[in-house]
Amino acid sequence: MLAQHFGCSRWWWNYGLNQCIETYKATGKGLSQSGLNSLLPKLKKEKDTEWLGDCYSQVLQSVSLNLSRAYQNFFEGRAKYPRFKSKHHRQSIQYPQKVKQIEDALKFPGKLGTVKAKIHRPLDGAIKTVTVSKCPSGKYYASVLMEYEGDYPASNGAGKVIGIDLGIKDFAITYDGEKTSKYPNPKHLSKYERKLAVKQRIAARKHKGSNRRRKANKIVARVYERVSNVRQDYLHKLSRKIVDNNHVVVVENLNVKGMVRNHKLASSISDTGWGIFVNFLNYKLERSGGNW
């Protein structure tokens, strides 16, 4: 059923994007979120697309919202032009409301019903939007957006200020006015390069479109997922250590897009995860009452 919902959501995104493009060519104006949603009732009644009715209606409406936001981000210069989605990449759907936790499971509205889940942290806030996704490795995840009442707690840093210099040889060099600390770059991708090359060669030898090739590609995706998990674990622990001991954190501005144009350093820069690290620092400081 999740595969069916993923397919409906992906098809509706591609159909809506195509309608926006054709409408703009004909009239010089695009389609709004309400304009996209107005197309759904007719499509559900047509014989060729009546299967859209099997998907929960608010899942499709959230696709319309995301597409209209994608256009808004493009016109305001925050993102590239929206692209068509492929079934070979990450799949996801959104439930904007009415999702509940029942012991060790999540109960979704519509036909999906109750799904068992490994809930790794308590859902102690008001559940808002839940995004269900499937990674190329074949694993399913539910990302739960929650709302809390009250203010964030005061910072434990007691007014301490720290400056961070990001690099490649040393991932981070910190200075708090008295002490300089260096944190080495783990180079996560280089540790798995040999294993990744072997798995990629095996996948390349398989016939295109075959089940064996799909299975081999899934193994490659698992290696990439492992690298991503190890990298995020390191960045989470380091950012938590810095936030817990400081009230104000200062980080240099880096033009990462410009730096990765250097083909000799592009792989090393991408492997460091500077952007993810800065994002982790930002939201953890906000939660702990610190300043950025």
Question: What pLDDT, on a 0 to 100 scale, did the predictor assign at position 292?
Answer: 74
Question: What pLDDT, on a 0 to 100 scale, did the predictor assign at position 180?
Answer: 86
User: Rounded mean pLDDT of the chain?
Assistant: 87
DSSP, residue by residue, the chain: -HHHHHHHHHHHHHHHHHHHHHHHHHHS----HHHHHTTHHHHHHSGGGGGGGGS-HHHHHHHHHHHHHHHHHHHTTSSPPP----TTS-EEEEE-S--EEETTEEEETTTTEEEE----S---SEEEEEEEEE-TTS-EEEEEEEE--SPPPPPSSTT-EEEEEE-SSEEEEEE-SS-EEEEE---HHHHHHHHHHHHHHHHHHSPTT-HHHHHHHHHHHHHHHHHHHHHHHHHHHHHHHHHHH-SEEEE----HHHHTTSTTTHHHHHHHTHHHHHHHHHHHHHHHT-B-
Confidence of residue 289 (pLDDT cuts 50, 70, 90): confident
Read off the pLDDT of residues 161-204 as tens digits, 9 standing for 90 and up. Answer: 888 888 888 888 888 888 888 888 888 888 888 888 999 999 99
Read off the pLDDT of residues 54-75 as tens digits, 9 standing for 90 and up. Answer: 999 999 999 999 999 999 999 9
In the predicted model, is pLDDT for residue 107 greater than 90?
A: yes
| Average pLDDT score over residue span 132-159 | 80
Least confident of 11-15, 49-53, 193-197, 267-271: 267-271
Question: What pLDDT, on a 0 to 100 scale, did the predictor assign at position 279?
Answer: 87
In the predicted model, is pLDDT for residue 125 greater than 70?
A: yes
Question: What pLDDT, on a 0 to 100 scale, did the predictor assign at position 291?
Answer: 76
* Bigger pLDDT: 109 vs 157: 109
